[in-house]
Structure 1
Amino acid sequence: MAQPPFSSATVFNHPLAFARQQLGLSQRDLALLLGRRLRGGGRQEKVARWESGTVEPDMDAQLVIAEILGVPADRLRKLLWPNWLPMGGQFSVEGVWTPENCQSLLEASVGELVLDRRGFVTLAAGSVDILAREWRSVGHAVPEVLGGMTGDIADSFEPRLPWLRDLEDLHGGGRVRRLVDAELRFVGELLQDTGHRGPQSRRLFRMVADLCRIGGWASVDAGYLAAAERYFVLGMRAARAGGDPLAGANLLKCMSLLLAEAGRPRDALLLAGSAVEGTAGAPPRVRAMLTVRQARVHAVLNEQYACERLLGLAESAMAEADGEPCPDWATYFDAAEYAAQVAACHLALRNFADCDRSLERATRLQPASRARDGVTYQLWRAESAVRLGDIERACVHLMDVVPLVAGGSSSRNRLRFRRVRRLLRPHRALPYVRDLDAQAVALLA
């Protein structure tokens, strides 16, 4: 069968979509093959529903899919759907986390991560435990300030990191990933000249950790989740090599949200808790940022008491944050971002009135430069409004962001828009819902 066309922006959001693409099969091709072997299985709509993640094929269909893909039947008995599907190359988190190994992983990753279009998490079962164990073995002293290299090329490069963070905030992940890849390639070449040891190398490894945080988050935003997890793990190793446990905790926090949104909240909680464990001596802004993320995972698990206890600790830390020094990457966690994270907890706990109040504060305080986050908050407000029965207000929030969602590159916000729109289906006869649909026809396609 002919290889179906895929653009460079294609994201394979489900392992089945990725696996059939490897064989050059379209959804229709796979449906036809199923129809020849399985009664009632030859419908493209079924394949589409499986790849949407909302429906799972029954075991008879899974056995036929396994036969088509060349997967041994006993693998189905060991792993649940969709984990038995071929997911492409999986990276290992095992091995000694030395600076030399980090450099080797960096060299193997540059260029490859930009091309990874898998929109699903591939981290194997047990890998999260290894990451948490490695983190706990690091030691949690606040990192020393590294001087030196004055006038060196690194001094010219380091100021580019805030610029890249701002660029990712302004334009979204899809447009920044190649820039991050080029910067990682450059820093990797500098590391080759330093011998992996000493203050200069530690400073460069810290730059790698920051770049991996930017590249990983850009990948999450664009929908490339497999690349994101690889960026985050590489960044953790670089933070370890650079002697910067705070940067490592930040990357654990990012990985935690990735796993929570990918339907693995227990793994997410393990990483979020590990990140918080070593922050007693960290700046209060960092403690607040990590603690509220742990609270958010408890909220996803509907563990309200644990969530509220942690929110209390985060609030106390935020009260101490003003005027206290913190790493550059933590400065974004201001009053607006804190209020938004509290709102996310209330949203997950279905405390919709509290969620809306926190979002009103976040929206009011949000800097204009962080427009993408502002869109996210409006989408959360729309969902809260629907849940509260205020359909007209929900439509107003959605109408406000339609041009920004349609014109932006944030896959996550497009997905959020569609999810909220599905909540409005029972109300589609109302005039303001019809007006929304007319304006958002391209997004709803």
Structure 2
Amino acid sequence: MPAAAKSVMARAVSESSLLAGRLEFFDLQQPDMAKPSFTLALQAAGEAEDELLGAATLAHMAFAPAFSGDPERAEDARDKLHGARAFARRGSVSAEMLAWLDAVEAEVETRFGNTCRALELIAHAEEMYEQHDAEGNPSPPWLDWFSPTRLAGFKGNTLLAAGKGAAARETLERALAELPIEEIKQRAVYLADLASAAVLERDPEQACAYLEQALGQLGEQWYATAMDRVKDVRQTLREWDSLPQMRALDDHLYNWHTMISSLSA
């Protein structure tokens, strides 16, 4: 096979495997299933000598140890991100992709309790976006999952983890307003996070309203990551179980469709 054709094919395999890994990890929440996909994506990126695809794959591989909840896996996640940044430096990386790497690292640090560091990374990502030159140094076409609105979502979630309910709510409200209508899965995530902000502000009725909206989005398009956030927020509402809004929420949360979808994921 000619070298040029081999490179094109390897890049296609890498991109498709990266997408498969994203679906397996975020949509199905099957990290063991996603690992071979990400490994193949990295191998194919190497065959294509595509440093940016390699960086993106390594950054995605950092999510598994970060989402595990095991503090002993923190260095594994950070090592993957160090590798991702090394690959990115060797490629013609855009400011937007650097912002995404900052956001991924912020997510990792948030999950390991380092919210101060995470907020510093978010601030740096915002600076990177201000420098982004979409014409002079564009991002790869496959980086279509990231945007300033998605960055705001990362920021809102980190502010929640830091206990900054009002700041999180303001950030997430703006992100939700700017989110394209077709991004149903991400809308469900933002609504669940807004519910979490309402809990921090001691407003259980508003939290229930946001969770009901999130469940409505999940009824249109299932997304295991969003459902996990909905359930996490529901657990924080236990002291208000006697409210009629809570009983209505549980009727929606524990119906046939939601339960079967949860068990099938």
Shift of 1:428: 0.8
**What is the aligned partner in structure 1 of residue 81 from structure 2?**
272
CA distance in 1, matches of 2:252, 2:116: 41
The yes-or-no answer on 1:236 pairing with 2:42 is yes
Do the aligned partners of 2:66 and 2:108 also contact (CA within 8 Å) in 1?
A: yes
**What is the aligned partner in structure 2 of residue 250 from structure 1?**
56
> Which residue, out of 385, 396, 404, partners 2:198?
385
Shift of 1:204: 0.9
Tell which deviates more after alignment, 275-284 or 311-320.
275-284
The AA in structure 1 aligned to 2:43 is R
Task: Give SS of 2:166's match.
Answer: helix
The answer for unaligned runs of 5 or more in structure 2 is 261-265
Do the aligned partners of 1:273 and 1:294 also contact (CA within 8 Å) in 2?
A: no
CA distance in 1, matches of 2:210, 2:146: 24
Structure-2 change in CA distance of 1:320 and 1:331 (3 Å): farther
CA distance in 1, matches of 2:29, 2:106: 24
Q: TM-score scaled by structure 1?
A: 0.53
Q: How many residues align?
A: 250
Detail structure 1 runs of 4+ shifted over 6 Å in the superposition: none
**What is the aligned partner in structure 2 of residue 317 from structure 1?**
128
Q: TM-score scaled by structure 2?
A: 0.87
Do the aligned partners of 1:256 and 1:272 also contact (CA within 8 Å) in 2?
A: yes
The AA in structure 1 aligned to 2:10 is F
Do the aligned partners of 2:205 and 2:245 also contact (CA within 8 Å) in 1?
A: yes
Which structure is higher in helix share? Answer: 2
CA distance in 2, matches of 1:308, 1:401: 26
- 1:202-228 CA-to-partner distances (Å, cap 9, x unmatched) read 111111111011101111111222111
Task: Give SS of 2:113's match.
Answer: coil
**What is the aligned partner in structure 2 of residue 289 from structure 1?**
100
CA distance in 1, matches of 2:177, 2:245: 25
Task: Give SS of 1:340's match.
Answer: helix
The AA in structure 2 aligned to 1:242 is A
Structure-2 change in CA distance of 1:444 and 1:353 (3 Å): farther
CA distance in 1, matches of 2:134, 2:195: 35
Shift of 1:199: 1.4
Task: Give SS of 1:368's match.
Answer: coil
Do the aligned partners of 1:285 and 1:330 also contact (CA within 8 Å) in 2?
A: no
The AA in structure 2 aligned to 1:218 is L
Structure-2 change in CA distance of 1:350 and 1:269 (3 Å): farther
Task: Give SS of 1:332's match.
Answer: coil
- 1:384-429 CA-to-partner distances (Å, cap 9, x unmatched) read 2112211111011011122332453322222222222122222110
Do the aligned partners of 2:115 and 2:158 also contact (CA within 8 Å) in 1?
A: no
The answer for unaligned runs of 5 or more in structure 1 is 1-193
Do the aligned partners of 2:185 and 2:222 also contact (CA within 8 Å) in 1?
A: no
The yes-or-no answer on 1:370 pairing with 2:183 is yes
The yes-or-no answer on 1:210 pairing with 2:15 is yes
CA distance in 2, matches of 1:304, 1:403: 30
Do the aligned partners of 1:343 and 1:359 also contact (CA within 8 Å) in 2?
A: yes
CA distance in 2, matches of 1:276, 1:387: 35
Task: Give SS of 2:88's match.
Answer: coil
Task: Give SS of 1:386's match.
Answer: helix
Task: Give SS of 2:189's match.
Answer: helix
Q: Which has the larger radius of gyration?
A: 1
- 1:339-370 CA-to-partner distances (Å, cap 9, x unmatched) read 11122222333333222222112111111121
Structure-2 change in CA distance of 1:344 and 1:277 (3 Å): farther
Task: Give SS of 2:142's match.
Answer: helix
**What is the aligned partner in structure 2 of residue 431 from structure 1?**
244
CA distance in 2, matches of 1:420, 1:307: 21
Quote the RMSD (CA, aligned, Å): 2.0
Structure-2 change in CA distance of 1:310 and 1:367 (3 Å): same
State how 1:5-44 maps to structure 2 within 5 Å: none
CA distance in 1, matches of 2:75, 2:154: 19
Shift of 1:305: 3.8
**What is the aligned partner in structure 2 of residue 332 from structure 1?**
145
Do the aligned partners of 1:210 and 1:247 also contact (CA within 8 Å) in 2?
A: yes
Structure-2 change in CA distance of 1:444 and 1:349 (3 Å): farther
Task: Give SS of 1:251's match.
Answer: helix
CA distance in 2, matches of 1:338, 1:411: 20
State how 1:28-427 maps to structure 2 within 5 Å: 194=1, 198-220=3-25, 221-263=27-69, 264-280=73-89, 281-321=92-132, 323-324=134-135, 325-427=138-240
Shift of 1:322: 5.0
- 1:242-262 CA-to-partner distances (Å, cap 9, x unmatched) read 111111111111111232112
**What percentage of residue pairs aligned between the two structures are identical?**
25
Do the aligned partners of 1:418 and 1:444 also contact (CA within 8 Å) in 2?
A: no
CA distance in 2, matches of 1:346, 1:302: 12
